[in-house]
A and B are shown apart, each in its own frame.
Chain A
Amino acid sequence: MAKATRQSFGEALARLGAEHSEIVVLDADLSKSTKSDLFAKKFPERFFEMGIQEAHMIGAASGMAFSGKLPFLCSFGAFLTGRYDQVRLSAVYSGANVRIIGTHAGLGIGDDGHSQMGLEDVTLMRVLPTMGVFQPMDDAETQAIMDYLVKQYKGPAYLRLTRQTMPDYSDKAAPFVAGKLRKVATLGTGAKTLLAIGSGAGVAEAMGAAERLTAKGYTTHVVNCHTLKPFDSKGLMELVSSLKPSQIFTVEDHSVIGGLGSCVAEVLSENGVGVKLTRFGCQDQFGESGEPVELFEKHGFSAAKIAEKMA
């Protein structure tokens, strides 16, 4: 069912908390927004309300990880990157087995504006050695990533989640495999082939663009990147050689500098792929208040804007 991925996260956490007594959850006065409150209600003794202290929360979660717990620390992505040195040293450099949950990704949060929008978090988290970076596109994928992060993944990981509702694509998409690009759909039967790669809220915009492009003679293969790090370089190269797209585009509700667009650009250029790449997302601009739909339009990564540019 279409849900905000933060909601799916909260539900997954409450579900997994029952079987995994090592899970502890920390929140800095945003549990109703991050949806960690769903865990808090079920397991109050394992929920730590830290107050408005993100820096301390990151350190405390790391210490709990060193003492055998599996901490999920939750806040808005923007506030976590704001305490970057704590993420960098206390958590990641220390090898802490922590799950850092950054909700309120991108322009999609709308009205609250720039200060609350995580627009640089993928870039900053991705640059840290050993850090895993994940971003689900919908409810089912959030559940799958949460299972993976609890049952299999070891080390520090960052999970980026939306405030707004995400349409469901998982049921029709290829099965979820952690670390692998995931085919969502192929739209159109035209002779001109495009490869669209979206992440998070970008998947829905890529799908919308692909739909619009069918009328213009395009076949668009839409792929979802839920694991931004480690990035599936091999999978991307396989897609490029099997689909032979005339153009590639990426869509993300995030800065194109260092985000998904950069991940793809790095792989394409390092492998000598001479296919034109267009990166849709925030183009080196700050976020702002407004309706998400209007903001996506204004910043050029709504389905309509993408289709217009790619056609």
Chain B
Amino acid sequence: MSKPTAAELKKLSNELRVHILEMITEAKSGHPGGSLSAIDAMTALWFAEMQGVPQGAPDASRDHFVLSKGHAVPALYAILAQKGYIPFEELKTLRRTGARLQGHPDRVRLPIVEASTGSLGQGLSVACGMAMAHKLSGSKSRIYCMVGDGEIQEGQIWEAALSAPKFELSNLCVILDNNGGQIDGPTDEVLSLKPIAEKWRAFNWEVIEIDGHNFDQILGAYQKARELESKGSKKPVFIIANTVKGKGVSFMENKIEWHGAAPKAEDAKRAIEEVRKNG
């Protein structure tokens, strides 16, 4: 199968948005805002960049993905269903008692998920460990990790930021879903992270800043990260994907109240219609 184009990815990502909205609506709880901001970068990663088939077991022949901002897991579930790793029907079980699709990623119940996350700041350290192990084994796998902008207020993120360059984890590519919002308000008001790029550069990371909803830019950033490694760069890569919280649903966009609230059936219908129209 040839690599999908930016236009094809955009269309696919909007289809996944519909699944995200449907599953959160069905569950009557979940995090639409951060799932919708993250889905474009994640779609490009899973359908055009990552190599190999996820199985859950350690495997040096494939790339790996850690969703450190675990509350955006509906985006990951939509991707796993689209990839055929879980049935679409199962998306309706999100957050139900006994479901594999827990409210936050759970690698024991659903081993395709590579790290259990949900307490923010932890997934990046796990991704670092995976990158360290693969490097030690001489594997060519690349490790991708998505973090949220609110999440990087966590001290542990900065431990990882300091650590990854020491171990020359050029096989590690972190994507920041920089959507500018968190539960208590705009990130700039809650606890500003600016200047983000300068901070990560100062920690000796390769920093790439893009529009996180522009597929040409997303694909370009992933390609650049891969090229840097193949050309012998020893630095881990940090992609700042500037995104819009709730992207694709006008009444949710940049509205903090949609961080962790499920739409009612009527709102969901409107939202899905809008996404379909733009798809």
A: which residues have CB within 8 A of B?
24, 45-46, 48, 50-51, 53, 55-69, 71, 85-86, 89-90, 93-95
Partner of B156, one of A24, A50, A55, A64: A55
Partner of B122, one of A53, A69, A89: A89
Q: With contacts A86-B156, A89-B118, A93-B108 known, what are 16 further pairs, Cβ within 8 A?
A: A46-B136, A50-B163, A56-B160, A59-B126, A60-B125, A63-B125, A63-B131, A66-B58, A66-B133, A68-B137, A85-B119, A90-B122, A93-B106, A94-B107, A94-B116, A94-B126
**B residues in contact with A63, CB < 8 Å:** 66, 115, 125-133
B129 touches A64 (CB 8 A): yes
Instruction: Tell me the bound Cα distance from A65 to B166 in angstroms.
Output: 20
B117 close to chain A: CB less than 8 A: yes
Instruction: Tell me the bound Cα distance from A62 to B118 in angstroms.
Output: 15
Partner of B125, one of A45, A58, A65, A71: A58
Instruction: Tell me the bound Cα distance from A62 to B107 in angstroms.
Output: 12
Partner of A53, one of B66, B106, B137, B163: B163
From DSSP, what is the main secondary structure of chain B's interface residues? helix
- Closest Cβ of chain A to B241, distance in Å, is 22
A60 touches B129 (CB 8 A): yes
Instruction: Tell me the bound Cα distance from A25 to B125 in angstroms.
Output: 16
Instruction: Tell me the bound Cα distance from A64 to B118 in angstroms.
Output: 19
- Closest Cβ of chain A to B103, distance in Å, is 13
Kindly count the residue-residue contacts between A and B in the assembled complex, taking CB atoms under 8 Å apart. 108
- Closest Cβ of chain A to B124, distance in Å, is 8
A48 touches B125 (CB 8 A): no
**B residues in contact with A94, CB < 8 Å:** 107-108, 115-116, 126
Instruction: Tell me the bound Cα distance from A71 to B126 in angstroms.
Output: 13
B129 touches A53 (CB 8 A): no
Question: In the complex where A86-B125, A89-B116, A95-B108 touch, is A56 in contact with B156 (Cβ < 8 A)?
Answer: yes
B134 close to chain A: CB less than 8 A: yes
A60 touches B128 (CB 8 A): yes
Mark interface residues in B62-73 (1 if CB within 8 Å of A CB, else 0): 001010000000
**A residues in contact with B119, CB < 8 Å:** 85, 89
**A residues in contact with B125, CB < 8 Å:** 55-60, 62-63, 86, 90
Instruction: Tell me the bound Cα distance from A196 to B137 in angstroms.
Output: 48
Top 3 nearest A-B pairs by Cβ distance? A63-B129, A59-B125, A67-B133
B: which residues have CB within 8 A of A?
58, 64, 66, 106-108, 114-119, 122-134, 136-137, 155-156, 159-160, 162-163, 166-167
A64 touches B107 (CB 8 A): no
A60 touches B115 (CB 8 A): no
With CB as the reference atom, state the residue of chain A lying closest to B131. Answer: A63
Q: List 24 A-B contacts (CB under 8 A).
A: A53-B159, A53-B162, A56-B163, A57-B125, A58-B125, A59-B122, A59-B126, A59-B128, A60-B128, A62-B115, A62-B126, A62-B129, A63-B126, A66-B107, A66-B115, A66-B129, A66-B130, A67-B58, A67-B133, A68-B133, A86-B122, A86-B156, A94-B108, A94-B115
Instruction: Tell me the bound Cα distance from A259 to B115 in angstroms.
Output: 30
With CB as the reference atom, state the residue of chain A lying closest to B135. Answer: A67
**B residues in contact with A95, CB < 8 Å:** 107-108
- Closest Cβ of chain B to A207, distance in Å, is 41
**B residues in contact with A71, CB < 8 Å:** 129
**B residues in contact with A68, CB < 8 Å:** 58, 133, 137
B137 touches A90 (CB 8 A): no
Instruction: Tell me the bound Cα distance from A85 to B117 in angstroms.
Output: 11
**B residues in contact with A62, CB < 8 Å:** 115, 125-126, 129
**A residues in contact with B133, CB < 8 Å:** 24, 63-64, 66-69
A56 touches B128 (CB 8 A): yes
Instruction: Tell me the bound Cα distance from A95 to B132 in angstroms.
Output: 19
**A residues in contact with B137, CB < 8 Å:** 67-68
Instruction: Tell me the bound Cα distance from A46 to B132 in angstroms.
Output: 10
A66 touches B132 (CB 8 A): no
**A residues in contact with B115, CB < 8 Å:** 62-63, 66, 90, 94
Instruction: Tell me the bound Cα distance from A57 to B129 in angstroms.
Output: 8
- Closest Cβ of chain A to B15, distance in Å, is 30
- Quick one: which of B66, B123, B130, B134 has the most chain A CB within 10 A? B130
Partner of A55, one of B106, B118, B159: B159
- Closest Cβ of chain B to A55, distance in Å, is 5
A67 touches B134 (CB 8 A): yes
Partner of A48, one of B116, B117, B167: B167
